Amino acid sequence: MSASDLIANLEKLGDEFLQLIQPLGDEQTIRAAQAQFLGKKGKVSEVMRELSKLAPADRPLVGAAVNKVKQTIEERVTERLGELASAAARADLARVVDVTLPPHPAPAGHLHLLTQVRLEAVQIFSELGFVVADGPQIETDWHTFEALAIPKEHPARDMQDTFYVSDEIVLRTHTSPVQVRTMQLTPPPIRIVAPGVVYRRDDDPTHSPMFTQIEGLAVDVDISFADLKGVLLHFVKRFFARDLAIRLRPSYFPFVEPGAEVDMQCSFCMGAAPAVASCRVCKGTGFVEIGGCGMVDPEVFAHVKIDAEKYTGFAFGMGLERMAMLRHGVNDIKFYYEGDVRFLEQF
Ligand code: PHE
């Protein structure tokens, strides 16, 4: 056989193999077909045996053609086996995963109850024209006490057992120092609320060493106690979405005069007899305390250089854990801070 006949034969073998392998659907038969062509007694090997009969000059050409057909066959085998493997994997997947089913929704978190309550309180006050003010949690003794008419040996300091950082620096025990900072910076008219974390050496089911207050301050000409009461009443009604009453009980805070404790009608029993007697929240009184308030004391105005002859102001401070507790029935302040998802998920 001539060199060109051999080359033509080899090309035909290549084509023949491609035809042969096309319908084969498993590795075993594909490997058998491969052996039929490339094995020791295979069709390609047969052609190779003819090589020795050729003139030496013709051998390289035919040799190259042999290599080419070998390569074609091997490549096609690898390719075909790969196709079969991925088809099998797809079939497997379709058997265990129904890709047409809707996915499980990814669990998404939400704002912490206290954050929700804080934002809501700010929203309600902002509708009345108050803007948010802020101050440091690590505060000077002067802003926390002195400027609020609570000098060093004043007994009112005991009302708020303080964490001292140094002689002159404390963890703020209330948000009232933000009143001082605001009045130092801004001339009246002032209408601010200051929500934030405060610290006291207190720890039991209703007290935590760290808790949240919201402070309010309004300073302007002709601000009256009636304005204070109106703002607090509006807040309570909006926050609890109920027509609840409030009660301002005369009380003493050195930085307000007159001062009062803010009580609201118990949102649990609504102060209604006979339930009221057994109500665990208000202990049968029909009212619960939610904060303190009063008219800004002229001594405070003097510290921040606001003219007490021209301006008057009111201030209030409320506990946000308390508000959330009264609205949602949270009976231990620890729940807010432990991060137990079973608790948090409910809000
Ligand atoms: N700062 C007071 C407290 O934490 C509350 C208060 C604020 C009272 C403003 C009067 C006016 O107890």
Indicate whether 256 and 130 sit together in one domain: yes
Indicate whether 24 and 155 sit together in one domain: no
Ligand 1 pocket member 315 (CB < 6 A): yes
Average pLDDT over residues 249-269: 94
- Beta carbons within 8 Å of 141's beta carbon, 6+ residues apart: 167, 168, 169, 170
Whole-Å CA distances, 310 to 216, 238, 345: 20, 32, 50
In the chain, where does DSSP find H-type helix? 3-21, 27-38, 43-50, 59-96, 113-127, 141-144, 177-185, 225-240, 275-278, 298-303, 320-328, 335-338, 341-344
Domain for residue 185, yes or no?
yes
Nearest CA to ligand 1 atom 10: 293
Average pLDDT over residues 263-285: 80
The pTM of the full predicted model, rounded to 2 decimals, is 0.71
Q: Which of 111-125, 180-194, 215-229, 274-288 has the lowest mean pLDDT?
A: 274-288
Rounded Cα gap, residues 182 and 166, in angstroms: 24
Indicate whether 319 and 250 sit together in one domain: yes
Indicate whether 7 and 154 sit together in one domain: no
Q: Which atom of ligand 1 is nearest to the CA of 148?
A: 1
Indicate whether 85 and 224 sit together in one domain: no
Indicate whether 164 and 271 sit together in one domain: yes
Domain for residue 101, yes or no?
no
Indicate whether 15 and 153 sit together in one domain: no
Domain boundary among 94, 125, 160: 94
Which CATH number covers residue 237?
A: 3.30.930.10
pLDDT at residue 160 is higher than 70:
yes
Q: How confident is the model at residue 275 (pLDDT cuts 50, 70, 90)?
A: low
Q: What percent of the chain is modeled with pLDDT above 70?
A: 99
Domain for residue 277, yes or no?
yes
Indicate whether 328 and 195 sit together in one domain: yes
Ligand 1 pocket member 294 (CB < 6 A): yes
Rounded Cα gap, residues 328 and 324, in angstroms: 6
Domain for residue 127, yes or no?
yes
Question: SS in 3 state form for 99-112?
Answer: CCCCCCCCCCCCCC
Indicate whether 176 and 322 sit together in one domain: yes
Domain for residue 108, yes or no?
no
Enclosing domain of residue 81: 3-94
Domain for residue 99, yes or no?
no
- CA 251–ligand 1 middle distance (angstroms): 11
Ligand 1 pocket member 216 (CB < 6 A): no
Indicate whether 199 and 249 sit together in one domain: yes
Ligand 1 pocket member 150 (CB < 6 A): no
- CA 198–ligand 1 middle distance (angstroms): 12
Domain for residue 150, yes or no?
yes
| pLDDT value for 273 | 63
Ligand 1 pocket member 292 (CB < 6 A): yes
Residues counted in the chain: 347
Total domains present in the chain: 2
> Within 13 Å, how many C-alpha atoms sit on residue 43's CB side?
18
Indicate whether 79 and 185 sit together in one domain: no
Indicate whether 66 and 126 sit together in one domain: no
Domain for residue 103, yes or no?
no
- CA 139–ligand 1 middle distance (angstroms): 16
